[in-house]
Structure 1
Amino acid sequence: MRCEWQAQTRVVAMGEWVGETVGPDVWETCRGLIPVGSVFAFLAEHRGRLFPAQMFADMYPSANGRPSMPPQILAAAITLQALHGLSDYQTVQELRCDLRWKAACGLGLYDMAFDPSLLAYFRRRLARSARPNRIFETVREVVKSTGVLKGKHRRALDSTVLDDAVATQDTVTQIIAAIRTVIREVPHAAEQAAIQCTAHDYTDPGKPRIAWNDEQARADLIDALVTDAVRLLGHLPDQQLGEKAANALGLLALVAGQDVEPAEDSNGRDGRWRITQGTAYDRMISTVDPEARHVHKTRTHRQDGFKAHLAVEPETGLYTALALRPATGTEHHEATVGIDLLADEDSPVDVFGDSAYSTGDTCQILHRAGHRLFLKPAPLKTAVLGGFSLDDFAINTAGSTVTCPAGHTVPLSEPSGRHMQRKALFTDQCASCPCASSAPPPRPAGSSPSAPTTTCSPLPATRPAPTPTGKPPTDDGDHPSNAPSPGSSPTATADSATAAPSRTTPGSTPVPQPSTCEP
């Protein structure tokens, strides 16, 4: 195959990038080396229609200058990067050395591509634009129009933590940084700070000079810094503020109060403060990135950052939906986001996921949408070792009653508390119950166990469980999740006052429950 030098001029509208391919066009001269039907061949042939120049016009609005690399080339590059799970450096190496990548992205044979940092700049422009998901939306439309997922009725839900490149800041660092930002961004704040803020020299880049090993000195500093913040906020004049100035004031108000409470002998109105006992809910960890949060994927492992949620077709590995959310808050929990990930499905699907997605409300919503659920049930918990679990009680949410293993029935309270749980109290019944001798007391004297709300009862399976074949699972049968998870317990029904905990008869074929109960 003859590869001769071709000086082809590109004119890219909406950015006016004008340049030449470095060497012959790989797709034109080396097409036979690109695997037929591959994503590389598809991008090489349809890249111009998938990612037209006008698609990125809003990302490069200035008429002065031009993008150092056509955005459609970068769009094709990050699409392949996501598909192969490569780093920025590895992506550029592929663009330099692999004919398939060169053909897919429209580079010349001798093109050395670009610096890896350009991919980071391009993603940053995307994130700050009005349509940050435009590339994913385009690829999803292509997948839908080509029918790649036709007949694929499985979706796996999962989430992962994306680490943020910021250091966790302590209370002192946050308050000082927030006050400095207000002084810098808010008109007339510098004059007021010079009068009202006396705890620290906020022009000094270092931390306050105190005896940091002295607990009382640290407490006095916290009190003084919070007082500075409150006085500065209270003495700023009423004025119209821009976005940056308004955000600076809001940030200062947040960090000044999230970690402190009135002092021990304070009446709450005398302006004396101390570090609060415990951690504030949804605490901001850094003024550098106010949206980053602590994330606990397990009880022992903590990370700082965000959560990425996705729905995947497991056979092809194609992402059908994704979402980037803050790491904390019930509105960003997997069970809530999972509903959104499946909202655009045109037909019912088989949904696979871990116990994070098996809350009662989520199961009800997905089942009503026609989806068949294969979600790992949440592990049963007991108040004390050897005590009773939720499955040992017959819970009837419709009749608002709960029956204990000994047959005592008590009323179920109305939802209350942060998690809107309903409680059943067996204080009097447990005092003289024969079960008390065979199980440890569920609570200390004077209190009683509680049964949280059962919000979703098991529903009959829409089709019988397939017989295990020993072969890899397919869309039409033999799902590994059809059998109960090892160690899982059957779920108590909640539809009738006389319902008893469900049990699987020995020797019978277990039928998967498309829904689960939420403690």
Structure 2
Amino acid sequence: MLFPSQAFADMYAPVNGRPSVPPGLLATVVVLQSLQGLSDEEAVGALRFDLRWKAACGLGLYDPGFDPSLLTYFRRRLAGSSEPDRIFGIVRAVVEQTGVLAGRTRRALDSAVLLDAVATQDTITQLIAAIRRVARQVPGASALVAAHCHACDYTDPGKPRIAWDDEEAKSALVSGLVTDALALLDHLAGQELDESAEHAVGLLALIAGQDVEPVDGSDGTDGRWRIARRTAPDRIISTVDVEARHIHKSQEQRDDGYKAHLAVEPETGLFTAVALRPGAGAACHEATVAPGLLAHERGPLQILADAAYAAAGLRAALTDAGHRLLIKPPALKPAVIGGFTLDDFAIDTAAGTVTCPAGHTVPLAAPGGRYQQRRATFTGLCAACPLRERCTTAQTGRVLTIRPHHHLQAAARHQAATDPAWQDDYRRWRPMVERAVAWLVARGNRRLHYRGTAANDRWLHHRAAALNLRRLVNLGLTHTNGIWTLVPITA
């Protein structure tokens, strides 16, 4: 009843007859598989031998199930269809039909780190793997590798045979690998390549440039390279999963993988929207993804979120949409420990003036730069000021940077600090999203099963759909006369 065959009709060509296995059965298995965190083989095994799975899928006691490869084909068809997240959409339609969210106008936003399915590779391993991939996927490249690349034996699947505790040997290996990569790229320059070969060459170019630099006093033409003493922005961490990234959820928590972005109704714990993105880059930031999580919502909401969602642009957009925001503002950092912060200055953006705690008033400059910031400069006024030690350490005086939507951010900080109703609602409802995050990553599901953003995003939607179904069942989900309703379960 939940997954009728017509819901997947567009995924199969009508001229070739019906699918050998009903797509509704495959969808049910995918949901159960996502709920229990099983591989394809384990899921089909459960379908064959577990009576609970047979009952859920409507199969007889002696039904042998199907080959596990059909799950792969089914997910591939879903990914290539016009509605790749239709399973989550079907479950969301059930949620709406039950009316469980009627009158519940709170949504809590949060993100969770999901670990990638592959091992993180160091610079040496990535260089070797990238050169081997070019040799496999680019026509004629294997002969070029044999003729021009001699830092190690690229046909040997193991690690190079060097003394790994010898820094000079490691440095010589790095220099040789980079030289080989550059020589290979030089010989392949200008060739017409198909998509897979072009991807392999592009990946080699990225790997060869992201983690290395010429040694001191060299420009690299002499073949002397070393591992750079820095981390490249948006660094590729594996040639096996090139979309996984280093994630710094906080200064203490550092992982490799992806970020799951979640919108949750905090009272019921139901996921109203989810999205998976690589863990680094502006396009993957919480404030960038948040509008998409709320795009399907109707009517104003109370939005609860931590400081990761406190960007001024997001606050302005949500305010303009009529939402009531309980987004924790980040704490201001004073220029001097224990000194004055931005909120201790009287800032009038309309009049274009700023008055410091000592009573000095200066004009605000016109907006400029990439972020349209405005500056207030107190040059010459701080030298003899009795409050200088609490304000600035700059010799020329304090300079304030006023960003767009300053009044919204200042009002939010004031409300969060002084409004008891704001504080009570935030403390009551915001922590509830952590319960949903715990459900999401339970049973080993913090570790992803697939490679790439698209495949893992499908898995996240299936996982959220399964958790929503389980939650609805616990609330008394019933199908009566073609309508999904909730009947409270009595003891």
TM-score by length of 2: 0.73
- Which structure shows the higher helix fraction? 2
Structure 1 unaligned segments of length 5 or more: list them. Answer: 1-44, 470-476, 486-519
Change (3 A) 1:104 1:307: same
Change (3 A) 1:290 1:413: farther
- Asked if the contact 1:392–1:404 (Cα under 8 Å) also holds between the matched residues in 2, the reply is yes
1:342-372 deviations in Å (ceiling 9; x for gaps): 1222222111111111111000011111111
Which structure has the higher relative contact order (CA within 8 Å, separation 6+)?
2
Change (3 A) 1:484 1:161: closer
1:253-304 deviations in Å (ceiling 9; x for gaps): 1000001223321346666433222111111111110000111222112111
1:182 paired residue number: 134
TM superposition shift of 1:203: 1.3
- Asked if the contact 2:286–2:309 (Cα under 8 Å) also holds between the matched residues in 1, the reply is yes
- Out of 82, 87, 98, which is 2:37 matched to? 87
Change (3 A) 1:302 1:435: same
1:394 paired residue number: 346
Structure 2 unaligned segments of length 5 or more: list them. Answer: 431-491
- Out of 289, 293, 305, which is 1:341 matched to? 293
Change (3 A) 1:94 1:236: closer
2:465 paired residue number: none
Q: How does 1:206-245 map to 2 (within 5 A)?
A: 206-236=158-188, 238-245=190-197
Change (3 A) 1:412 1:262: farther
Q: 3-state SS of the aligned residue for 2:12?
A: helix
TM superposition shift of 1:406: 1.9
The letter of the residue matching 1:304 is: D
TM superposition shift of 1:114: 7.3
Q: 3-state SS of the aligned residue for 2:407?
A: coil
The letter of the residue matching 1:329 is: G
Change (3 A) 1:95 1:199: closer
- Out of 278, 291, 298, which is 2:250 matched to? 298
The letter of the residue matching 2:4 is: G
- Asked if the contact 2:383–2:397 (Cα under 8 Å) also holds between the matched residues in 1, the reply is no
TM superposition shift of 1:245: 0.8
Structure 1: how far apart are the matches of 2:141 and 2:408? 60
1:54 paired residue number: 9
Q: 3-state SS of the aligned residue for 2:276?
A: strand
- Out of 212, 217, 226, which is 1:265 matched to? 217
| Percent of matched pairs sharing the same residue | 50
1:37-70 deviations in Å (ceiling 9; x for gaps): xxxxxxxx34326x64525438xx9979976x54
Stretch of structure 1 that moved more, 173-182 or 199-208: 199-208
Corresponding position: 1:197 with 2:149: yes
Change (3 A) 1:64 1:253: farther
1:228-257 deviations in Å (ceiling 9; x for gaps): 111111111633322211110110010000
Change (3 A) 1:63 1:295: farther
Corresponding position: 1:149 with 2:101: yes
TM superposition shift of 1:427: 5.1
Q: 3-state SS of the aligned residue for 1:370?
A: coil
Q: How does 1:52-451 map to 2 (within 5 A)?
A: 52-57=7-12, 70-79=22-31, 85-88=35-38, 102-109=54-61, 121=72, 125=76, 128-130=79-81, 131-144=83-96, 147-236=99-188, 238-267=190-219, 272-397=224-349, 401-410=353-362, 411-412=364-365, 414=367, 416=369, 424-426=376-378, 428-437=380-389, 439=390, 442-443=392-393, 450-451=400-401
Change (3 A) 1:106 1:171: same
Q: 3-state SS of the aligned residue for 1:316?
A: coil
TM superposition shift of 1:329: 0.7
- Asked if the contact 1:402–1:412 (Cα under 8 Å) also holds between the matched residues in 2, the reply is no
Change (3 A) 1:98 1:317: farther
Max Rg structure: 1
The letter of the residue matching 2:12 is: A
TM superposition shift of 1:216: 3.2
1:159-187 deviations in Å (ceiling 9; x for gaps): 11111121111111111110110011001
Stretch of structure 1 that moved more, 262-271 or 120-129: 120-129
- Asked if the contact 1:226–1:256 (Cα under 8 Å) also holds between the matched residues in 2, the reply is yes
Q: 3-state SS of the aligned residue for 1:47?
A: coil
Change (3 A) 1:246 1:64: farther
The letter of the residue matching 1:160 is: A
Structure 2: how far apart are the matches of 1:297 and 1:136? 27
1:99-136 deviations in Å (ceiling 9; x for gaps): 6x645422225657679x77974785367534431211
The letter of the residue matching 2:306 is: D
- Asked if the contact 2:26–2:74 (Cα under 8 Å) also holds between the matched residues in 1, the reply is no
- Asked if the contact 1:158–1:310 (Cα under 8 Å) also holds between the matched residues in 2, the reply is yes
Corresponding position: 1:481 with 2:426: yes
